[in-house]
Each structure stands twice: as C-alpha cells, then as structure tokens.
Chain A
Amino acid sequence: MSLVFLVGVDGSDCGSRALEYAAERTSLKGAKLLVAHVIEWSQFRFSTVEENAERHKRREEELQRAHEEIVDPIVQSMRERGIDAEGIVRHGHVARTLHTLAQEFNATNVVLGRIGGSGIKAHLFGTVASTLVQIADVPVTVVP
C-alpha cells in the first residue's frame, strides 16, 4: 500500500512547520503529499437574504483565493522538490473535514500544526488538533 500524507495548511507559521515536517517525511518515504486547506464554515450559520443570493459567487471566490494564495504555491514548490503533491480546498468544520478527506484519499497519516491551542475557547471547544486526534482513524502528527 502506498503512503499518503495529508497535511493541513492555513497560511500560518505553524502550518508551514507542519508542511515542512510532512514534506521531509514524504520525500524520505517516496509517499504522496496531499496539501489541504479547510475554510471554516457551518451549515447552521445565520445569514441575510442578500448574503444568500451571493453565496455561490462568494464560495467560488473563496475557493479561488485559497487556491491562489495558500495551496497552489505550496503544491508547486513541493513538485519542484520532486514530491508528488496535490492540493485540495474544502469548506466545513476544520477537524471533521480533514477527517473526511483522510478517509476519502486513504491517507496513512495526517499532519497539522497545533494552531490556536490556548485560552478559554480552546478549553471549552477544544482545538482543531485535539478534535482531530479524537476522531481520526489514522495516526495524527501534531507539529508545535
């Protein structure tokens, strides 16, 4: 079975460290690297009529921007390093979407940065990393 590393990136320094970690492991093992960015979104958000009417357009713009500014440059630089990389952008709950992507692409390992891991909010709702650790069915590597 071929190895697939799924790495979550969000444009932050922490995300870059996770990416670097995943890239090193990927090239060592000759694995495939999936570069995923999740746009935080909930199906239960409240919105105005006008926002709804423009939602489809905004979604396309959000996807395009995420590709252009975050995912595509990473994928390109990974390919230049000889890594078999692919980029994905999705909307959704970050941890659950990464989990779904891991299942969808048969990822053997998920790598992500330990982002926003402090404060009351983290205690109450947990972080993306801690949630993913709880729900994932493949090993999760959390990079500080």
Chain B
Amino acid sequence: MKNIMRGALALSWLATVNPAWAQNGIDEQINSAIKPAADAVAGFIFSSFPVGGVPIPFVLVWLIVAASIFTFYFKFINFRAFKHGFHLVRGDYNDPNAAGEVTHFQALATALSGTVGLGNIAGVAVAVSLGGPGATFWMILAGLLGMSSKFTECTLGVKYRNEYTDGTVSGGPMYYLAKGLAERGPGFAKLGKVLAVLFAIFCIGGSFGGGNMFQANQSFSQLVNVTGGEASWMADKGWLFGLVVAACVGLVIIGGIKGIARVTSRIVPFMAVVYVTAGMVIILANITAVPAAFGAIIGGAFSPEGVAGGVIGVLFQGFKRAAFSNEAGIGSAAIAHSAVQTNRPVTEGIVALYEPFVDTVVVCTITALVIIITGTWDPSVDPAAGVQLTSDAFESAIGWFPWVLTIAVVLFAFSTMISWSYYGLKCWTFLFGESRAADFTYKILFLFFVIVGSSMQLGSVIDFSDAMIFAMAFPNVLGLYFLLPVVKRELNEYWADYKAGRLQRTR
C-alpha cells in the first residue's frame, strides 16, 4: 500500500512538473523537447554504408549475417528440430516429479506474449507501406533465419542463469555474456563483462523505447483512430492517455497488484487468437485474391516498383520489421525463457524456435496478407501509416473490427510493457545492484516514458525505439559468436541422446 502511495505521488509530481501540461499543445512541446535527442541516438545506431546506392544500416547486416551463420553452424536447426520442439512444448518429455515448475509451454507462451504485439500489427504495416508487398517475403525469410538466433540465445540464457538461494531464477544475456565468456579465459572475462554492461545499458534503453514508448504511442494512435481520427476529442490528449496507462502499469510494477498482470497474461493469448482468426476469415473470404497477393509478395521482393532503393530498399524494410517484431538476436527473449525447468538447456533453445515462427512467419504474414488483399497498402488508396493502416485494412472487410483491434492493441501494448519493464529492471539491478531505491528509480523512469511515448509523433518514436532495441544486438551477437561452441556441445550431446532414444518420454 505504501508503495502505491509513493507511486501515485511520483506520478502526480510528473504531471505537475511542467505547468504548461495543463494547456493545449502539451504533446507538441514534449515532442519538440525529445525529438532532437531521439533523432541523434537513432542516427548513430543506424549508421549506414551504401550498397548499390542505398544506405544500409550496419546493424541490420549484423543481425541477418548472424542469423544465417547460426543457421548453417547448427545445420539448419530451425528446420530439423522443429518437430521435436512441438513435442517438447506439448510436454511429452516433462519430468513428472517437476510438476508445478515452469514448463516449456509456459516459458514459450510468456516469451511470446512479450513479443507478439504491436510489431506484428503496426510494424508490418510500416514495412508494407514503405517497402511494398515484397517486404513480406524478406520478413518471412528473416523470421525463419531468426529462429536459429533465438535457439542460440535461449539455450545460453538457461545454461548460464543465476539460481538464487531464495529459489528465484534470473537469466539473460547479461549473465551469459559475463559468465559464459569468463569460462574461456581471463582476457575473455574482461570482454564479457564489458559486453554484459553494454547489453544492460541498451536493454534499459530498449525497455524505455520499443518496449514502452512505441507501445504507448501506437495504442494511443489506434484509440484516436477509432474515436474519430483528427476530430476526436482525444487527438491532442496523448499525455492524458499516457497518464492513465502509466497509472495502470504503475499499479502492477510498483503497487505489486499482480492480479492485473495475471489477468492480462490470460487475455492476451485469447486476443491473439481472435486477431489471427479474423485475419484468416478475411483471407479465406478473399481466397481468390490470395494467389495474386503471393504473386505481389514474391514479385515485389525481387523487382519492386516505386520503392526507394529497389530490391535492397524492400529487403531492408522487411528485415528491419521482422527483427523488431520477433527480437531474434536482440537478447530480450533469453531473459523471458530462462526460468524454465529443465536440466538440458538446449531443450529451451529448441522450444524457442517457435517464437519467431509464430510471431513472424504466422502472425506477421497474416497481417501483411490482409493489408495486401484489401489493397489498403497502396498509399494512393490509404495514406495512413502504422497501426492505423492495419486497422483500415481490417475495417474494409469487417466494419466493427477496429474496436476489437483497439482492445487487442491496448492489451498487447500493456503486456509488452509489463514484460519489458521486467527485462529493463533486471538489467538495471545488474548494473546498480539490488536495492529498493534502485528498483523504485527505474520504475518511475519507466512510467515517465509511457507518458512521453504517448505524446510524441510516430516518426521519432519509431526511430528512437528501433535504435535502442537494435543497439542490444551489438553486444549480444558478438558474445554469441564466442559462445557458439558451448551451444554446439550441448546440442550434439542432446541430439545424440534424442536420436538414440535415451530421452525419457513421459506421454
């Protein structure tokens, strides 16, 4: 209760810190204050070099090269372990004596609820509106390759997790970078420490950006959209929406009202099913248009028309949105997966293959198909961007769907924020140690960024969010390269046991 009071006090302080907030144009003020900094950070992270005359950000090359190397190094683990992964998720190999612990299914579902969200709804729309239908092709390819990145990082997340004496578990790149590299020698120990600290810093940034501001921004945008667009009384009240969302998030993360988070974690999978079903209904109703849509996707992937940068430009959009949506190589998922009960870390890596698959190959493709089939992706048909575009696409087929989508978007955003606040907090305490003051400071900052995110315009929020999330990939992937032999050893031992039938099947 005391915590709630402190949270409420801090929030009301945030609301009054700038008296101009009580007047019109607050959103604009916040936007113009933050924009230069956001743009500068984004510019640095997305430093690019020209390929065929198109500037390609180095970080994207970094991610896709890594995903390809992991795919080859583990001999297409993303395909060959796919079926076994399904059996693991279904619980066929669960140890009956461990009933009551975190199962593979739970770890996967939890990780998915942190990644399935606005990236799948808004991000895809951004990719298709900027890169044309062809971006979908590259998005799917990036999703398939990303499965190998997830496999690598989630295996390590479990292997090098910390198990505390009080029975709690904590894992993620900051631990495997520090502990894993230290095993390789004193020189590596230093490097590992540096990478772990860098990762933690960027992850805190990501928890404020993509895991927070982007979510708040896009759910607000959708709310304005369904309540009448520009004419909506809410249109210039982003800060108010931010305050309400911040209060709800605050109740969970500061007030410790676990019930809200628990309810959300039950509703979000349900909303995801509703979203996918609605998408499938639209696709099936227009089944005759599907071959043409796939034609446009494949044609647009290799010979796009009217897209800045041609093939490279389309590829860039697809890869970027896929990476942002499924977070493969970013390292965040390794935190979410690490609490699973298993004595074979590689099993969680195999289960994690399903994360980019469900997120990108299934859900993102459905969104893209709906946008392409309904024709809304064409800027001359619909000039909207981001989540509004997806909303318009669904609306053109199911008139009342934007309302459902709004609820879904707000819930997705909320659950993603809760997940990311946890990732960020773990990194924060990794840097500053466990203390109530450190804990509280982080949480207040997190809430502050909810309000900022709701008030800013899409462009700068997207750029900043992208920048912070993608920055995490630098230390994470670099460390993964050094730890590849560890994963390979685990995988080979496990796979031999699996092939020889030495694993105990319990159902």
Contacts and interface: CB of A to CB of B under 8 A. Distances in A.
Contact of A39 (B94, B100, B168, B268): B100
Interface in A50-82: 50-60, 62-63
B211 to A, nearest CB: 12
Interface stretch (A3-11, A41-49, A129-137): A41-49
B447 interface: no
Interface stretch (B202-210, B216-224, B259-267, B291-299): B259-267
A49 B100 contact: no
Interface in A11-52: 39, 41, 43-52
Given A43-B94, A55-B101, A56-B101, A49 B166 contact: no
Contacts of B266: 46
B34 to A, nearest CB: 28
B167 A47 contact: no
Interface in B250-286: 258, 261-262, 264-266, 268-269
A144 interface: no
B99 A46 contact: no
Interface string B222-261: 0000000000000000000000000000000000001001
Given A41-B99, A44-B105, A55-B339, A49 B422 contact: yes
A46 B109 contact: yes
Chain A contact surface mostly: helix
A80 B113 CA distance: 51
Given A53-B169, A57-B168, A47 B106 contact: yes
Nearest to A90: B99
A55 B106 CA distance: 11
A91 interface: yes
B94 A49 contact: no
A56 B110 CA distance: 16
A48 B168 CA distance: 14
A56 B99 contact: no
A59 B341 CA distance: 12
Nearest to B94: A43
Nearest to B167: A57
B439 to A, nearest CB: 13
Chain B contact surface mostly: helix
A48 B420 CA distance: 11
On chain B, which size bracket covers the interface?
35 or more
Nearest to A104: B96
Interface in B113-141: 113-114
Contacts of A58: 167
Interface residues of A, number: 27
Given A53-B339, A55-B339, A56-B168, A48 B102 contact: no
A66 B339 CA distance: 24
Contact of B101 (A39, A51, A59): A59
A62 B25 CA distance: 53
A91 B99 CA distance: 5
Contact of A62 (B100, B168, B169): B100
A92 interface: yes
B419 A49 contact: yes
B418 A54 contact: no
B336 interface: yes
Contacts of B103: 43-44
Interface string B72-102: 0000000000000000000100101001111
B169 A56 contact: yes
B99 A49 contact: no
Interface hub of A50, A58, A91 (most chain B Cβ within 10 A): A50
B461 interface: no
24 contacts: A43-B94, A43-B106, A45-B106, A47-B102, A48-B110, A48-B422, A49-B114, A49-B336, A49-B423, A51-B262, A52-B102, A52-B110, A52-B169, A52-B340, A53-B169, A55-B100, A55-B101, A56-B101, A56-B163, A56-B167, A56-B168, A57-B168, A58-B167, A92-B99
Given A47-B106, A49-B110, 15 more contacts: A41-B100, A44-B106, A48-B265, A48-B422, A49-B422, A51-B265, A52-B106, A52-B107, A52-B169, A53-B168, A53-B422, A55-B339, A56-B341, A57-B166, A90-B99
